[in-house]
A and B are shown apart, each in its own frame.
Chain A
Amino acid sequence: MLQVSLYRYNPETDDSPFMQDFSVDTRGRDLMVLDVLELIKAEHDGSVTYRRSCREGVCGSDGLNMNGKNGLACITPLSETVKGEKLVIRPLPGLPVIRDLVVDMSLFYAQYEKVQPYLQNPTPAPAIERLQTPEERARLDGLYECILCACCSTSCPSFWWNPDRFVGPAGLLQAYRFLADSRDTATEDRLAKLDDPFSVFRCHGIQNCVNVCPKGLNPTKAIGHIRTMLLNRAT
């Protein structure tokens, strides 16, 4: 029997959040954490609330804090996160909780939108694709794969303190994804918008983001690249 402690909060009935314990029979299988939540919802308490969609780690719905570490419930096996017999599941830290494990991600999305996460190139497009060498394309590897699960940003203390002003690791990774794209021509404008004391420079290289990213991406490195670009721009 696996002991699961779940963060519960329903704004309609609860004054404050509390932890609720469930004993879940995993029948010895090394389930994913999402499977455990599905079991609880189906067999114990239908009111347990969380987001999920693809269940294979590409949609980014089920970012949660499991035994103290952010990750995707659908690709986190119990063997990886449970030491001993206890699994503690909380919502992603630092964002307002809507209900149970569901957080309000508006601040996170707002930071994403702030970096203008779309290709900008006003020159008339050719009749076919814009050409790009495999080397130029390779610069986007490790950047475009982000699934916006928010595991990184919600593990970042700088984002906890300034979610409205610090873009956060996820947003900055996207910012660099377009700065690094040989087809994008808005580099100057993008950099100018990032050169304030908060957007980029609140990153203190703590690297929690790198530690938790379920896709193995490295936002800190991308932020370093942005800093270098800002430096080159100024000199």
Chain B
Amino acid sequence: MRAALQLAQSGYKTAVISKVFPTRSHTVSAQGGITCAIASADPQDDWRWHMYDTVKGSDYIGDQDAIEYMCSVGPEAIFELEHMGLPFSRTEEGRIYQRPFGGQSKSYGEGGQAARTCAAADRTGHALLHTLYQNNVKNETVFFNEWFAVDLVKNQDGAVVGVIAICIETGETVYVRSKATVFATGGAGRIYASTTNAHINTGDGMGMALRAGVPAQDMEMWQFHPTGIYGAGTLVTEGCRGEGGYLINKDGERFMERYAPNAKDLAGRDVVARSMVLEILEGRGCGPNGDHVKLKLDHLGEEVLESRLPGICELSRTFAHVDPVKEPIPVVPTCHYMMGGIPTNVHGQALTVDDSGNDVIIPGLYACGEVACVSVHGANRLGGNSLLDLVVFGRASGLYIEKALREGIELRDASQTDIEEAGSRLNALNQRETGEQVAPLRHELQEIMQNHFGVFRTGEFMREGIAKLAELRGRVENVALADRSSAFNTSRIECLELQNLFETAEATAIVAEARDESRGAHAREDFTERDDENWLCHSLYHSDGKQVSKRGVNFTPHTVETFQPKARSY
């Protein structure tokens, strides 16, 4: 939506295709905030410190030119949002309130914990998404709400020239022709059984890209958020720990002091999640099954909780039946964010590599947000960086497309065959008479991913998972459509989504097995060390032949010196 806004303001004809009404997208669930060095909490704050934290957080496979761009442009993008009306919480000076989040430091890790995450209470994503939609309304962007993009249309030169889209309400299927197609389709957390993600996070962009032969980068990197509510999976923001909350095991011990003596509960998310799993595996988990730990907040007092974390109090009472003012919330690491995605440059242009390993731009295709892998998050995303990522690169894509349109984009029209090819998956689904039902297939997929590709991974177990997926593929491709109506047919959409989930899951599985080291969120029990010699690079998955290759990480920022890989400790 940030890209759409940019384009609508430029006067170019812009349409947003969204499978849900725009304010129902998953950004709305983001809670804690948007991390950016706007120097409110600390007037000395410097975007370079934010850059350092992000590079370190990424376990050094975040592209440093992209991180440099995001962190340096960030403040401008945040102030724009504020000018658009985003209701940030405020400091006594009237500036935007910033709270501490995990992995944040001053002076390149030397100056202690920083408070850099700009917040609107614990509803920052909601406030952000609504503000963006409101400004799109203001600028009269055209919305195709409850339209579902099915597949990319490519012309004979391999350029992307639009999508096949289906109107959910009427079943009408059309080819939407465009000079620039921007994916902002979000994540695919629903490949796992336990996830903080919305039902709609089904990796539609990944599915479309992989089927169109676009590679996927760093797909093994899935963030497990330390604090998903036990049982329900709903997210409890890292801001809880930022405001002073901490995790305890069954003995009431603040165990993060052992794993990360300095940052404690505000270490990187991968570190905290792994520590939690270790506590549970070593028998110090809470509950009758000892399968979770608890997040203690009651010592903060009712006033702080109700003013800073009102949404968390609400969620916890609803889903955990626990009042955080009185007792700790049961939590467990839960799938949260896809660090990988469609490789892009800082303009959002999708990339592939040629035979000699050089980057090649795919004409017509852009990606931003979670579906993109610019890559600013590398192997582990810092809290609050996802909202910044989508705002900064949405804006950057918009700016770049505006410039490109002004200079003139010449793409050959798609032929009838090209369009038919893109529509073939939908047609096949509509015509198929037999096959399995969507819900059990989806359940099976989620169980495979949950069991074989979770927080800790081993080669043998993953190979087993890959074999199961291979067996599942044919069945997913032949999923049966139980309902053939053309009026608001959510069954049809769920079938198409399942196939997207599968593409994403398979990419994850194959690359996870290939990366034989531990880095960031990717933790192997059979390769426990980081291997900079072989794997200080992106992984690239090619759907064609299911091949994995490597792509270099950018270590050459333009205005600062390279941050050299170091051992990562908090």
CB–CB under 8 A between A and B in the complex? yes
Q: Does A82 belong to the interface (CB within 8 Å)?
A: no
Q: Which residues of A contact B440 (CB under 8 A)?
A: 42
A200 CA to B83 CA in the complex, in Å?
A: 28
Evaluate contact between B29 and A56: CB separation under 8 angstroms: yes
Question: Which of A53, A57, A98 is packed against the most chain B CB atoms within 10 Å?
Answer: A53
Q: Does A2 belong to the interface (CB within 8 Å)?
A: no
0/1 string, B475-496, CB within 8 A of A gives 1: 0000000110111111100000
Evaluate contact between B26 and A134: CB separation under 8 angstroms: no
By the criterion of a CB under 8 Å from any partner CB, how many residues of chain A are at the interface?
A: 57
Evaluate contact between A56 and B487: CB separation under 8 angstroms: no
A47 CA to B78 CA in the complex, in Å?
A: 43
Q: Which residues of B contact A95 (CB under 8 A)?
A: none
Q: Does A127 belong to the interface (CB within 8 Å)?
A: yes
Q: Which residues of A contact B134 (CB under 8 A)?
A: 117-119
Q: Does A92 belong to the interface (CB within 8 Å)?
A: no
Q: Which residues of B contact A75 (CB under 8 A)?
A: 318
If A118-B135, A133-B92 are given as contacts, then 19 extra A-B residue pairs at C-beta distance below 8 Å, sorted by A number, are A10-B487, A46-B491, A50-B490, A51-B24, A53-B20, A53-B198, A54-B199, A55-B199, A56-B235, A59-B24, A59-B28, A61-B21, A117-B137, A119-B84, A137-B90, A144-B87, A145-B126, A147-B28, A148-B23
Interfacial residues of chain B within 407-453, with CB under 8 A of chain A in the complex = 437-440
Q: Which residues of B contact A12 (CB under 8 A)?
A: 485-487
Q: Which residues of A contact B461 (CB under 8 A)?
A: none
Q: Which residues of A contact B550 (CB under 8 A)?
A: none
Evaluate contact between B90 and A147: CB separation under 8 angstroms: no
Q: Which residues of A contact B24 (CB under 8 A)?
A: 51, 53-54, 59-61
0/1 string, B523-536, CB within 8 A of A gives 1: 00000000000000
Q: Which residues of B contact A100 (CB under 8 A)?
A: 488
A215 CA to B95 CA in the complex, in Å?
A: 27
Q: Which residues of A contact B315 (CB under 8 A)?
A: 56-57
Chain A minimum-CB-distance residue to B491: A46
Q: Which residues of B contact A109 (CB under 8 A)?
A: 21
Instruction: List the 8 closest A-B pairs by CB distance, nearest first.
Output: A119-B85, A131-B94, A42-B439, A46-B482, A47-B483, A129-B82, A118-B134, A59-B24
Q: Which residues of B contact A132 (CB under 8 A)?
A: 90, 94
Q: Does B12 belong to the interface (CB within 8 Å)?
A: no
Q: How many A-B residue pairs have CB under 8 A?
A: 151
Q: Does A140 belong to the interface (CB within 8 Å)?
A: yes
Evaluate contact between A47 and B485: CB separation under 8 angstroms: yes
Evaluate contact between B79 and A144: CB separation under 8 angstroms: no
A42 CA to B483 CA in the complex, in Å?
A: 12
Q: Which residues of A contact B91 (CB under 8 A)?
A: 134
Q: Does A183 belong to the interface (CB within 8 Å)?
A: yes
Known: A53-B24, A183-B85. A133 touches B485 (CB 8 A): no
Q: Which residues of A contact B199 (CB under 8 A)?
A: 52-55
Known: A53-B198, A56-B29. A129 touches B89 (CB 8 A): no
Interfacial residues of chain A within 46-97, with CB under 8 A of chain B in the complex = 46-47, 49-61, 75, 77
A41 CA to B96 CA in the complex, in Å?
A: 45
Q: Does A130 belong to the interface (CB within 8 Å)?
A: yes
Chain B minimum-CB-distance residue to A117: B134
Known: A117-B134, A125-B79, A130-B82. A54 touches B28 (CB 8 A): yes
Known: A56-B29, A118-B135. A144 touches B82 (CB 8 A): no
Chain B minimum-CB-distance residue to A128: B79
Evaluate contact between B437 and A46: CB separation under 8 angstroms: yes
Q: Which residues of B contact A52 (CB under 8 A)?
A: 199
Q: Does B172 belong to the interface (CB within 8 Å)?
A: no
Report 12 cross-chain contacts, Cβ distance below 8 Å, ordered by A residue.
A12-B486, A43-B439, A46-B439, A109-B21, A118-B135, A118-B138, A119-B134, A125-B83, A130-B83, A132-B94, A133-B94, A148-B21
0/1 string, B248-272, CB within 8 A of A gives 1: 0000000000000000000000000
A141 CA to B135 CA in the complex, in Å?
A: 20
Q: Does B464 belong to the interface (CB within 8 Å)?
A: no
Evaluate contact between B439 and A47: CB separation under 8 angstroms: no
Evaluate contact between B28 and A137: CB separation under 8 angstroms: no
Q: Does A195 belong to the interface (CB within 8 Å)?
A: no
Evaluate contact between B29 and A134: CB separation under 8 angstroms: no
A43 CA to B439 CA in the complex, in Å?
A: 8
Q: Which residues of B contact A58 (CB under 8 A)?
A: 28-29, 123, 126, 311
